[in-house]
Structure 1
Amino acid sequence: MYFFHHFILIFCLVFLACSTKKSNSDVNIFRYNESSSITSLDPVFSNNQANIWATNQLFNTLLELDSNLSIQPSIAKDWHVLNNGLTYRFILRDDVYYHNSPCFGQDSTRLVIASDFLYTISRLGDENILSPGTWVLDYLDTDNIYAINDTILEINLTQPFPGLLGLLTMNYFSFVPKEAVDFFGKNFSKNPVGTGPFYFKYWKQNEKLIFLKNKRYFEFESNVRLPYLDGVSISFITQKESVFMNFLLGNFDFVSGLDNSFRDEFLNSEGQLLHKYVDEFELMTTPYLNTEYLGFNLTKSRVDNSPLNSKDFRKALNYSFDRDVMTQYLRNGLVTPANKGFVPDVLMPNSNVKGFFYSPDSVNKFLSKVPNRHERIILNTTQDYLDICEYIQFSASKFGINIDIEISSPAIHRELFSSSQSAFFRASWIGDYPDPENFLALFFSKNKSPFGPNYTHFHNAIYDSLYLESFHVIDNPARLLLFSQMESILIEESVIMPLYYDYVVRLVSKKIKGMSISSMNSLSLKRVRKL
């Protein structure tokens, strides 16, 4: 904190000495920083938050999610579910134009038509493109998707999937014109042409990215064409201190997330914005579709003959620390303790799943059944989560559980647990779409890593049968009951250590109005105003 305050002083002096008054043309430009590099503006590569936020300004999908995670029309203005959930028929708008581009020749643009969706599907499945989103096609019958005419699209499935509408809101399904891909070739990712509220203007890698207002955008609010902003400017500062200083000085209009080292500078112990910032910024928070957890690789634990191979030992670990205390003091109460299962509360708010809690008696009971309980185990993590892991290490040590912590860079850490080189690891799962199935798929046996996200290598026949059954249940309460049964199996087998359900946290300038926040942590700027 001492360093942080001195950095503020030095930064401000330098800035004030060098700054000049902003031009009027800058006033209605929304500015934010992207600390992670944007690797592509092609939506088929929208597999991380940086790429998703950027492409979300440039492209549209059939449907979109509002701030309550409800399905809303976008390019599709209406839809019907037919044939017992095996056929979805979409009615497309007839007033959606692509951004102006030389790829369209003399006309400069054209209307979106239903066959464009078929082209999007073909790109996702193209082995030469190698999109990280190819997996979304597993839910579709790709040989039976039809453009009945320019405004009617029919999607067929090989088996029912109640979460399909949510899946179709993913950026992977953005409408892309074949003319643009043919015209720009491999450079399409740096010359994107979409239908979104903003169009691409300029990009200097890792320095500046500029989008400008699409004056032909198809959406209106109170008879006013969106968007309200004239443009979006994205910077790429990687030094966290500099990002926050620029925000404090008004050079950025919002920051997403609060780094552990800065949290106490802005928030009190109750997670509220400090009084000195109340007139300048707004703190926006909402539950996030993100579960932070510690995982056990059951295959490696068995091969290593580790105490982690024992379900009783894993249960003892789960009962050995207080999640309420951990989240209050290490995360300022801005997260929810994972005292239930793996799926965040926001997706299963009425779940009666009974998870883990702090219980010394339970720890001692389960440890007494483990002969090799005193053997040392290694917990792999990254620097950002060291405080959480050290808290668990200290708490578990009170019961004679010996944990060594090994820290790696994020890239190396991910390689460790995705390739089964770690028996005990910290991980998180951010929902791809708002459906419990997306979280519980992590423990389906056919999804074992490295070919899928089942990093624990959990295999349970009853769990698998319930997972497959959930696809054929349309009734939502009945489907949630299946998911609760699956969660109970995960708790009984103690496959993971759920830590907390995360929150989306944003600091927003009081000059910004109309910014929404959702549990998907999406960034929608089409309704944002800047005073």
Structure 2
Amino acid sequence: MSKKRVWPVALLVLLLVLSSALAGCGKKSSGNSGDTLVFGRGGDSTSLDPSRVTEGETFKVTVNVYETLLNFGEQDTSIQPGLAKEWKTDDGLTYTFILEEGVKFHDGTDFNAEAVVKNFERWANGDADRFPYYNSMFGGFKGDEGHVIESVVAEGDYTVLIKLKRPQAPFLKNIAMSMFAIASPDAFEKGDDQFERNPVGTGPFKFVEWKANETITLEKFGDYWQKGLPKLNKVIFKSIPDNSARLNALIAGEIDLADGINPADGEMIEDNKDLQLIKRPSMNVGYLGLTVTREPFNNKEVRQAMNHAIDKETIINSFFEGQANIAKNPMPPSIFGYNDDIEGYAYDPKKAKELLTKAGYTDGFEMELWAMPVPRPYMPDGAKVAEVIQSNLADIGIKAKIVTYDWPTYLDKASKGEADAFMLGWTGDNGDADNFLYVLLDEDNIGSNNYTYFKNDKMHDLFIEAQTEVDEKKRIALYEEAQEIIHDEAPWVPLAHSTPLLAASKGVTGFVPHPTGSDLLANVELKK
């Protein structure tokens, strides 16, 4: 064959290759492969330092970057080994933890007893602005009278002793919570602001990149101490605020997993052969908080009137599609200590008007109603629920102006007591009544998790006694009494306990939703 005849054939081959490449460029691609999971969610994280926040969008990411001394069960809050492989206490005051050996932080430094001590010292020497959840769960900080932790010391390289000033019944569950994950001291000693944007833990995935309000990217940690995990090479958390847009992205193959699914879309997902509907075990409450330091919500009759004014049944029927129950208490029935004998406030506009008249507001009043800007498990569509509440309040002469802010600003301003009434909710972090009642409504947590600024001396004493009491029957009785006080004082309008829905492509396997809302992705696989 002569050279003159070879050149045209070579050119033809080259053109075919180029045209194939160009055609491939024109195809729609999800941008992910079988080893990359794209998790669509409703909002961005506010930080990647779990000890500094109280919101679930942060924990959703950080539970895969960091690890805690103890873990919860796969789909419950039973206590399991974590970075501590063994633990014991003889008196409920001194706890001994035997740590796993050979564990590395993502920056290559060693996980050991000294690292655990430094994490606890960091928290204990902080304040409520830096570490609001530590304040809530351990009664303040070093030097505070109520601070429950006396000391945390290392005994050798892999043994930690934690001594308490008084027994704390939920102590082991508390330290298993996401916000008390153990971080690299080398990383956090560079400063809080730098650390919250560059997290370093021991978890199955390590941090790669954070594009604010867009994506957070994690990748497999090659030196992870649990062999064979994680099964994915990369996880991308993608913020898509609108529920319908997030579902459309899942249907189009742009994401692989989506939370915050509208209950109304559940049946359609189940009918789609390419998708799977996933139900998270319920352990939450959605509520309307009333800031008791602001007029007229410093008046109990006004707060009770608000409870009678709101049509919870219509809200649940309209927006939860049977995936929720009406709430009457600040915690769900699944939590021990729930007081089912309490009779919830009936929807009764006439009674609400009578209470307003008694309080001196016969003609009603004007107020701001803060609507959540992001979907949450306990509130799938905050804006629309706010419209129903607005209409209900108008029926009794209250003119409510709906306002909202971006999610971090919303939380910050509400925590400072700047809202008249605000929509919010809570997903339990450890399955204990203390984590709902004390954390959300006690005076110790005003400005951190108690956004209503409500306080009651008798209730506070009940909570502290319940924390110290190890007899479960006695604890239940104390919490039941506390709920009676809360019901009468009415700092909230409890709205709903939901069963949150997620959806995934059929190729997602190994995903097990946790009732806390923080899902470990180490065992997840994805087949494209």
Determine if the TM-score, normalized by the shorter chain, exceeds 0.5: yes
Contact 2:85 2:98 in 1 (8 A): yes
Name 1:258's counterpart in structure 2.
261
Cα deviation 1:249-305 (Å, max 9, x = unaligned): 22211111036xxx64x23xxxx445542x12222223444322223333322xxxx
Which secondary structure state, in structure 1, belongs to the residue aligned with residue 318 of structure 2?
A: helix
State the distance in 1 between where 2:493 and 2:89 align: 38
By how many angstroms is 1:444 displaced?
2.2
Structure 2: gaps spanning 5 or more residues: 1-22, 141-146, 374-380
State the distance in 2 between where 1:206 and 1:522 align: 19
State the distance in 2 between where 1:496 and 1:205 align: 32
Name 2:432's counterpart in structure 1.
435
Which secondary structure state, in structure 2, belongs to the residue aligned with residue 480 of structure 1?
A: helix
State the distance in 2 between where 1:465 and 1:216 align: 47
Q: How does 1:438-453 map to 2 (within 5 A)?
A: 438-441=435-438, 442-448=440-446, 451-453=447-449
State the distance in 2 between where 1:38 and 1:445 align: 27
Question: Aligned partner of 1:461: which letter?
Answer: D
Name 2:274's counterpart in structure 1.
280
Q: Does 1:87 align with 2:94?
A: yes
Among candidates 468, 492, 513, match of residue 496 of structure 1:
492
Cα deviation 1:154-204 (Å, max 9, x = unaligned): 111122211111211233332233345568997555554432112334555
Question: Aligned partner of 2:259: which letter?
Answer: S
Q: Does 1:78 align with 2:86?
A: yes
Cα deviation 1:446-503 (Å, max 9, x = unaligned): 443xx44433333323212212211221112221221111111111222221111233
Contact 1:334 1:503 in 2 (8 A): yes
Among candidates 96, 104, 121, match of residue 97 of structure 1:
104
Name 1:118's counterpart in structure 2.
117
By how many angstroms is 1:64 displaced?
1.4
Change in CA separation of 1:309 and 1:124 when aligned onto 2, cut-off 3 Å = closer
Cα deviation 1:403-449 (Å, max 9, x = unaligned): 3233232466546544444443333334343322122223323443x
Which secondary structure state, in structure 2, belongs to the residue aligned with residue 428 of structure 1?
A: strand
Change in CA separation of 1:132 and 1:19 when aligned onto 2, cut-off 3 Å = farther
TM-score normalized with structure 2 length: 0.80
Task: Say which is worse superposed, 35-44 or 167-176, in terms of deviation.
Answer: 35-44
Change in CA separation of 1:353 and 1:115 when aligned onto 2, cut-off 3 Å = farther
Question: Aligned partner of 1:425: which letter?
Answer: F
Among candidates 422, 442, 448, match of residue 425 of structure 1:
422
Which secondary structure state, in structure 2, belongs to the residue aligned with residue 144 of structure 1?
A: strand
Name 2:456's counterpart in structure 1.
460
Contact 1:444 1:464 in 2 (8 A): yes
Question: Aligned partner of 1:280: which letter?
Answer: D
Q: How does 1:376-391 map to 2 (within 5 A)?
A: 376-382=365-371, 384-391=381-388
By how many angstroms is 1:241 displaced?
5.7
State the distance in 2 between where 1:483 and 1:396 align: 31
Cα deviation 1:195-252 (Å, max 9, x = unaligned): 21123345555555443333443336xxxx3222233233455666654333112221
Among candidates 56, 62, 68, match of residue 61 of structure 1:
68
Contact 1:62 1:75 in 2 (8 A): yes
Which secondary structure state, in structure 1, belongs to the residue aligned with residue 474 of structure 2?
A: helix
Contact 1:30 1:530 in 2 (8 A): yes
Change in CA separation of 1:208 and 1:501 when aligned onto 2, cut-off 3 Å = closer
Contact 2:337 2:477 in 1 (8 A): no
Change in CA separation of 1:309 and 1:204 when aligned onto 2, cut-off 3 Å = closer
Question: Aligned partner of 1:96: which letter?
Answer: V
Name 1:294's counterpart in structure 2.
288
By how many angstroms is 1:145 displaced?
1.0
Cα deviation 1:87-146 (Å, max 9, x = unaligned): 2211212243334x4xx5xxxx54x22221011122334559945555255466555211
What is the CA RMSD across the aligned residues, in angstroms?
3.4
Change in CA separation of 1:91 and 1:35 when aligned onto 2, cut-off 3 Å = same
Among candidates 204, 207, 211, match of residue 197 of structure 1:
204
Contact 2:199 2:207 in 1 (8 A): yes
Among candidates 305, 310, 314, match of residue 325 of structure 1:
314
Question: Aligned partner of 1:332: which letter?
Answer: E
Question: Aligned partner of 2:168: which letter?
Answer: F
Cα deviation 1:324-363 (Å, max 9, x = unaligned): 232012222222211x311122224753241223346754
By how many angstroms is 1:371 displaced?
4.5
Contact 1:62 1:169 in 2 (8 A): yes
Change in CA separation of 1:418 and 1:16 when aligned onto 2, cut-off 3 Å = farther
State the distance in 2 between where 1:184 and 1:299 align: 35
Cα deviation 1:12-46 (Å, max 9, x = unaligned): xxx998436689x9212222235533454444445
Contact 1:159 1:471 in 2 (8 A): no
Which secondary structure state, in structure 1, belongs to the residue aligned with residue 294 of structure 2?
A: helix
Name 1:156's counterpart in structure 2.
163
Question: Aligned partner of 1:391: which letter?
Answer: V
Contact 1:253 1:509 in 2 (8 A): yes
Query: Higher relative contact order by CA 8 Å / sep ≥ 6: 1 or 2?
Result: 2
State the distance in 1 between where 2:211 and 2:383 align: 35
Instruction: Name the % identity.
Output: 25
Question: Aligned partner of 1:294: which letter?
Answer: L
Which secondary structure state, in structure 1, belongs to the residue aligned with residue 280 of structure 2?
A: strand
